Amino acid sequence: MAGDLAETVRLLQKKVEKTTSEIDSLHDSLEARGINSRRVTDAIHNRVFQNPVDEQHKSKSIIISSCANPHMRAFHASWFGFFSTFFSTFAAAPLAPILKKDTTLGLTRQQLQYGNIASVTANIVCRFLMGIVCDKMGARKGLAFVLLLCVFGIIPMMFVQDAAGFIACRAVIGVGLASFVACQVWCTQQFSPSIVGAANATTGGWGNVGGGVTNLAMPFIFLAFMSSTDNDENASWRLCFLVPLALHLISAAIVMSGRDLPDGNFAELELSGAKQKSDSSVVTRVGVSNINAWLLTIIYAMSFGVELTITNIASQYFYEYHGMSQLLSGVLASCFGLMNLFARSLGGITSDAAYKQFGLRGRIWALFIFQMIEGALCLVLGLITIGYDAPSFASNAPQVTGFVNTGGEWLPFTEIINGTAINATVEHCGSQQVTITNDMRPSLAEPLQALDSVTLTEPPAPWGAGTDCISNSGTLGIIILCFVLFSVAVQMAEGLCYGIVPSVSRPALGVVSGMVGAGGNAGSLITNSAFFVGSARTDTGFINMGTMILAVTCLLIFVYFPESGGMFLKAGAINYDPQRIKPPEGYRGADSMDFANVQTPVDAKEADDTAKAKEIAEPAATATEGV
């Protein structure tokens, strides 16, 4: 009898184990499809997560079609907030030809370049500070704050009257790029390490698309306002800034509807005991004393910094060197930013795949390979045209009669100045877009009379002496192809870099993210100032920048993690720790939760009130005893 009972119990246990295994397998299958079949809830309010989560309640999947709190709301709010700041920061770049003609501003080419530099320079310190804000107050509040702060640069831009005001407005608006740090920290805190590379890269990439969209959209927005203002160019370019203003206000509202961390906001999590209260001095010391953080800061300067530089100069490059119209120049320049729709995500996915196969060393090698490809393509971009003539932009540059290419015939263009018809001129190998007025039409060749505007360039023989000009070289097609491939490599390198960043220092995640992000803006300041200011040829700038990318990327050889290794050294191969100042014993990162002794907000408040009452009562009791 006893033997039969034991056998029955054994069989029942076996069935239970089999059933449990089948249920777990079913749960795993459903979670792989992005379904939280285990009905896991947050630790504070017992709200069911839509996404399947790990033990820290970070999402194990990305459900693009969802906007549910907390994971996917943070995902979409992050990229849209970053997109809005990218759009506003570079909104002026595709309008450069119009801004140069605005008689109120009277901007020179060099002043426009200073505006480009100001838009990325003001953000360097702000990105570092945003990292501290993210660790102390949360990425959500930091992102909303910087979105609203930029409004104080966007509105004045619509009323600016001189070059100094224009440059100052671009600097204030450029502060918004600090949103990138908040974007990356918020997603790192919401998504599991197994997919954090893809999550960070996708939100960062979709935000960067704002650079492509603004190059593509602003010329069309300008034309729309031209039609509603009776072709008033001065009023139209100013009204264009209503669009970035609306984007900032809308995205700030969306961001504030999100949640700091999967289980709640900072204040309630600290009150419940699940989260440690962050110490700004600790995270700052730990973050800035990590050598890997500094190396990645310099390396990221040659990916995101390069993207910022190209976004600022691309439209003007196609306009000045290839003789494209303002509208077409914006469209071609947008190709660079629009690659972010997939390229940065591809970098993150590649980083996650390399990590799965080779660990953290795989992430480092993948970044090295693609950033070297980026540098090589940048070199090629400059070498294609370096043998041709380019405009000099000098004040005493020779002027030649401007012609319009009608597709097989070059026609001279006539302007009306003080009632007199004269041949329009352009700089040797240069270009100029001209609006056709009613006074001009009778003096123009018939094919030109029906047009609203034309782009003048120097024609090749037999019409002129511009045969050796870049605009007549026939290289535009190969330039565009190289431009697109270069863009893909740049943005993959960005995604690959931020696949490594979350592993640098978990207790100082925000500070490290801010440091590396600031490196991107510093890189743009350096490349803009060194290679693309004044009358220096843009293709020469590409060659110099490509050389710099290749040299700086070699610093990845020195990135080493004691527990994982580096490019050429395995874990523990050398007695070296890049973390020079250690965090205090037991100090956790802002997103590291302890659910063991979690109290509800009500219980936590009561316990806090009781503790405060005890603090007051004890001295009083001691004093009474003395009496």
**Choice among 177-181, 526-530, 607-611 with the minimum mean pLDDT:** 607-611
Residue 610 scores a pLDDT above 70: no
Q: Which amino acid is at 219?
A: P
Q: Which amino acid is at 58?
A: K
Q: Angle at Cα 371 formed by Cα 358 and Cα 77, nearest 5°?
A: 85
The pLDDT tens digits of the residues spanning 243-253 come to 999 999 999 99
* 140 confidence band (pLDDT: 50, 70, 90): very high
The pLDDT tens digits of the residues spanning 167-179 come to 999 999 999 999 9
258 Cβ partners below 8 Å, 6+ apart?
Answer: 69, 70, 73, 74, 77, 140, 186
Q: What is the dihedral of CA 471, 488, 240, 242, to 10 degrees?
A: -170
The pLDDT score that the predictor gives to residue 604 is 47
The pLDDT score that the predictor gives to residue 268 is 93
The pLDDT score that the predictor gives to residue 17 is 81
Tokens at 305, concatenated: 């910094």
The pLDDT tens digits of the residues spanning 39-81 come to 899 988 999 999 999 999 999 999 999 999 999 999 999 999 9
pTM: 0.84
The pLDDT score that the predictor gives to residue 609 is 53
SS3 541: helix
The pLDDT tens digits of the residues spanning 14-29 come to 888 887 787 777 777 8
Residue 413 scores a pLDDT above 70: yes
| Backbone torsions φ then ψ of 345, nearest 5 degrees | -60, -40
- Please spell the DSSP secondary structure of 286-300, one letter per residue: HHHTBHHHHHHHHHH
Q: End-to-end distance of the chain based on CA atoms, in angstroms?
A: 77
The pLDDT score that the predictor gives to residue 380 is 98
Q: Angle at Cα 197 formed by Cα 191 and Cα 199, nearest 5°?
A: 50
Tokens at 555, concatenated: 């610093």
Q: How far, in Å, CA of 282 to CA of 587, rounded?
A: 9
Domain 71-388+475-566 has CATH 1.20.1250.20: yes
Q: How far, in Å, CA of 376 to CA of 387, rounded?
A: 18
Residue from 550, 228, 205 nearest 377 by CA: 550
388 Cβ partners below 8 Å, 6+ apart?
Answer: 468, 469, 470, 473, 475
* Residue 434 CA neighbour count, 13 Å, CB half: 26
* 485 confidence band (pLDDT: 50, 70, 90): very high
Residue 607 scores a pLDDT above 90: no
Query: Locate tokens 């996650």: which residue?
Result: 352
pLDDT (average), residues 304-328 = 93
The pLDDT tens digits of the residues spanning 433-453 come to 888 888 888 888 888 988 888
The pLDDT score that the predictor gives to residue 391 is 93
The pLDDT score that the predictor gives to residue 419 is 72
The pLDDT score that the predictor gives to residue 38 is 86
Q: How far, in Å, CA of 467 to CA of 542, rounded?
A: 23
| Backbone torsions φ then ψ of 35, nearest 5 degrees | -115, 125
Question: Residue 142, Cβ neighbours under 10 Å: how many?
Answer: 28
Mean pLDDT of the chain: 90
**Do 514 and 129 meet the contact criterion of CB atoms below 8 Å apart?**
yes
Query: Locate tokens 């054994």: which residue?
Result: 10
The pLDDT score that the predictor gives to residue 421 is 80
pLDDT (average), residues 536-545 = 96
The pLDDT tens digits of the residues spanning 269-291 come to 999 889 988 899 999 999 999 99
- Please spell the DSSP secondary structure of 122-142, one letter per residue: THHHHHHHHHHHHHHT-HHHH
Residue 7 scores a pLDDT above 70: yes
**Burial class of residue 425 (count of CB atoms within 10 Å of its CB; 0-12, 13-18, 19+):** middle
Question: Residue 571, Cβ neighbours under 10 Å: how many?
Answer: 14
Q: What is the DSSP letter of 191?
A: B
Measure CA 303 to chain center.
Answer: 11
pLDDT (average), residues 157-163 = 94
Q: Determine the length of the chain.
A: 627
Residue 608 scores a pLDDT above 60: no
Q: How far, in Å, CA of 135 to CA of 115, rounded?
A: 32
Tokens at 122, concatenated: 């003001």
Q: What is the dihedral of CA 337, 338, 339, 343, to 10 degrees?
A: 90
Q: How far, in Å, CA of 241 to CA of 165, rounded?
A: 15
Q: Angle at Cα 231 formed by Cα 227 and Cα 236, nearest 5°?
A: 80
Residue 622 scores a pLDDT above 80: no
pLDDT (average), residues 144-158 = 97
Tell me how far CA of residue 282 lies from CA of 92, 130, 285, 585, 587, in angstroms.
40, 16, 5, 12, 9
pLDDT more than 70, % of the chain? 95
Q: Which amino acid is at 335?
A: C
Q: How far, in Å, CA of 376 to CA of 385, rounded?
A: 15
Residue 600 scores a pLDDT above 70: no
